[in-house]
């Protein structure tokens, strides 16, 4: 078999892998040089000539002519008598170039060449895919459900690339069927043993931000900017938006008439409750807006500790805290302040931390998670609600209530 025919048999990989011929030839040269090193110990004195248009390849070995009986390195030197079989007028000291046919390498070497070529092409493909998806990090991507596993859903895109959507990157209400399309953002890509592992996320705040870009023309055009997004996936989100054009109402533009614009985003996120808020650089006003739908009476800031004391009327407190404490938690994440809620008109109260000698710290933290950090803020709640909203047992809550009541009875 001649070199050309052999190379053409290798070229089937070009069509299978959509690799261009020039790249294939570069890979071929690398593969052949490795084969030459194995057979001859070195490839330094070999010239490999590739013709990408014809797909042809020639290998020439260059050796120096030495007198008969003085050959010390058979790869670098050739005896005068052997040289004259190639050309009868060669003399000692001259250079001889002799073509090496691939078939001369032997059947096992050719099989090894083929296997090495497959490996190199896979490596090239993986590097290309890695670079492609590295550039797509943070962008929305759509792929089809291929396989559903306990800890992840495996997706395939139109090019057959495998994308992983881990369980912890799925919205709790997500339910997938094989063959359906799934949207998320490409969160990361890394090489695992030369194979790219592409991770998709539907829980990242960036996914919601990109949905705003995709679904709301003014955001896409840059007329409205998304300042910050915070989420509790599948439950609640807050999005701060701003516009440099005073004629545009950023909240109204994002929500649309009767919520028409944001409805598709809410549905995509499993009916996640999305609050869209006008951004402001005034931290007190921003905190007031972030606690919507509650109406705030006043806000006092401590910028050194990044604490905010927010005073509300008693009937507004539950709105500020929200179901499961989600509203106050997200407001804190959005503004960067730790928010303490105080009831308007309630003078006598005691910080929950004052009871740390009787109530364990982790229990106090559980109450703080839902915005309850004073004695009266807990006593104002129904025990059944506290059981539902915290991870505490009813027995533990009843003991806390008893301790707190004793403080005020005393």
Taking only the tens place, the pLDDT of each residue in 1-25 is 445 445 555 555 544 455 666 666 7
What tokens were used for 129? Answer: 């895919």
Which range (100-109, 150-159, 279-288, 324-333) has the least confidence?
A: 100-109
User: Is the domain of 113 the same as that of 9?
Assistant: yes
Q: Is 1 or 323 the better-scoring residue by pLDDT?
A: 323
Query: Is 285 domain-assigned?
Result: no
Give pLDDT, residue 107. 66
User: Is the domain of 13 the same as that of 115?
Assistant: yes
Q: Is 222 or 59 the better-scoring residue by pLDDT?
A: 222
Per-residue confidence band for 69, with pLDDT thresholds at 50, 70 and 90: confident
Please give the helix or strand (H or E) that residue 200 lies within, else none.
strand 195-201
Give pLDDT, residue 224. 95
CA atoms within 13 A on the CB side of 142: 6
Task: Say what the alpha-carbon torsion angle 21, 24, 29, 32 is, to the nearest 10 degrees.
Answer: -130
Per-residue confidence band for 409, with pLDDT thresholds at 50, 70 and 90: low
- Decide if pLDDT at 226 tops 90: yes
CATH of the domain at 243: 3.30.300.20
Give pLDDT, residue 245. 86
Give pLDDT, residue 1. 40
Edge-to-edge strand list for the sheet holding 307-312: 296-302, 307-312, 338-343
308 close to 299: Cβ distance less than 8 angstroms: yes
Q: From CA 232, how far away is CA 195, in angstroms rounded?
A: 32
Query: Is 197 domain-assigned?
Result: yes
User: Is the domain of 109 the same as that of 14?
Assistant: yes
Q: Identify the domain boundary among 169, 202, 235.
A: 202
Using one digit for the tens of pLDDT, what is the confidence trace for 80-131?
888 888 888 888 888 888 888 776 676 676 666 667 766 777 777 777 888 8
Query: Is 389 domain-assigned?
Result: no
Q: From CA 57, how far away is CA 79, in angstroms rounded?
A: 27
Q: What percent of the chain has pLDDT over 90?
A: 42
The chain-wide mean pLDDT, for the chain, equals 85
Q: From CA 410, how far away is CA 408, in angstroms rounded?
A: 5
3-state secondary structure of 149: coil
Angle formed by the axes of helices 21-40 and 107-134, nearest 10°: 140
Mean pLDDT value of segment 247-275:
92
- Decide if pLDDT at 160 tops 70: yes
Q: Is 207 or 190 the better-scoring residue by pLDDT?
A: 207
Query: Is 208 domain-assigned?
Result: yes
3-state secondary structure of 145: strand
Task: Strands of 202-285 (E only): list them.
Answer: 224-232, 236-243, 273-278
Q: Is 121 or 245 the better-scoring residue by pLDDT?
A: 245
CATH of the domain at 150: 2.40.50.140
**pTM for the whole thing?**
0.64
3-state secondary structure of 177: coil
- Decide if pLDDT at 270 tops 80: yes
Give the Å distances, CA to CA, from 266 to 149, 214, 400.
Answer: 26, 13, 38
Q: From CA 176, how far away is CA 126, in angstroms rounded?
A: 28
Give pLDDT, residue 237. 96
Q: Is 102 exposed, middle or buried, given 0-12, 13-18 or 19+ CB atoms closer than 10 A?
A: buried
Give pLDDT, residue 53. 58
Q: From CA 265, how far away is CA 237, in angstroms rounded?
A: 11
Q: Is the peptide bond before 293 cis (omega within 30 degrees of 0)?
A: yes
Using one digit for the tens of pLDDT, what is the confidence trace for 331-376?
999 999 999 888 776 556 778 888 888 899 899 888 888 878 888 8
Give pLDDT, residue 322. 87
Query: Is 289 domain-assigned?
Result: no
User: Is the domain of 208 the same as that of 237?
Assistant: yes
Domain that holds residue 79: 3-121
Q: What percent of the chain has pLDDT over 70?
A: 87
Task: Strands of 249-289 (E only): list them.
Answer: 273-278
Mean pLDDT value of segment 273-289:
95
Give pLDDT, residue 54. 59
Count of structural domains within the chain: 3
Per-residue confidence band for 40, with pLDDT thresholds at 50, 70 and 90: confident
User: Is the domain of 85 the same as that of 14?
Assistant: yes
Q: Identify the domain boundary among 279, 302, 318.
A: 279
């Amino acid at each position: 078999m001649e070199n050309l025919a052999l190379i053409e048999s290798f070229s089937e990989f070009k069509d299978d892998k959509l690799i261009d011929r020039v790249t294939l030839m570069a890979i071929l040269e690398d593969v052949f040089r490795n084969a030459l090193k194995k057979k001859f110990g070195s490839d330094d004195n070999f010239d490999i000539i590739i013709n990408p248009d014809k797909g042809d390849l020639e290998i020439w070995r260059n050796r120096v002519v030495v007198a008969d009986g003085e050959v010390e390195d058979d790869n670098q030197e050739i005896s005068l008598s052997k040289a004259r079989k190639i050309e009868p007028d060669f003399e000692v000291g001259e250079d001889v170039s002799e073509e090496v046919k691939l078939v001369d390498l032997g059947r096992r070497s050719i099989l090894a060449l083929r296997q090495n070529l497959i490996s190199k092409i896979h490596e090239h493909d993986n590097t290309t895919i890695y670079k492609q998806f590295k550039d797509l990090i943070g962008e929305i991507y759509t792929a089809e459900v291929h396989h559903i596993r306990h800890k992840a859903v495996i997706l395939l895109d139109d090019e057959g690339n495998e994308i992983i959507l881990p369980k912890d990157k799925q919205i709790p209400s997500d339910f997938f069927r094989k063959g359906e399309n799934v949207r998320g953002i490409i969160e990361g890509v890394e090489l695992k043993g030369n194979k790219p592992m592409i991770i998709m996320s539907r829980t990242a705040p960036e996914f919601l931000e990109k949905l705003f870009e995709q679904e709301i023309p003014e955001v896409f055009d840059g007329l409205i900017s998304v300042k910050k997004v915070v989420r509790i996936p599948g439950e609640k989100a807050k999005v701060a938006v701003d516009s440099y054009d005073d004629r545009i109402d950023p909240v109204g533009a994002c929500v649309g008439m009767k919520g028409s614009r944001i409805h598709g985003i809410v549905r995509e996120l499993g009916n996640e409750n999305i609050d869209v808020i006008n951004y402001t650089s005034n931290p007190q006003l921003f905190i007031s807006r972030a606690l919507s739908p509650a109406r705030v009476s006043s806000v006092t800031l401590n910028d050194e500790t990044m604490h905010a004391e927010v005073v509300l009327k008693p009937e507004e407190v539950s709105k500020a805290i929200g179901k499961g404490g989600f509203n106050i938690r997200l407001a804190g994440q959005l503004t960067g302040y730790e928010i303490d809620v105080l009831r308007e008109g309630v003078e006598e109260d005691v910080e929950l931390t004052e009871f740390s000698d009787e109530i364990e710290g982790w229990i106090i933290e559980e109450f703080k998670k839902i915005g309850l950090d004073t004695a009266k803020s807990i006593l104002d709640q129904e025990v059944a609600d506290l059981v539902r909203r915290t991870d505490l047992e009813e027995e533990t809550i009843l003991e806390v209530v008893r301790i707190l009541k004793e403080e005020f009875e005393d």
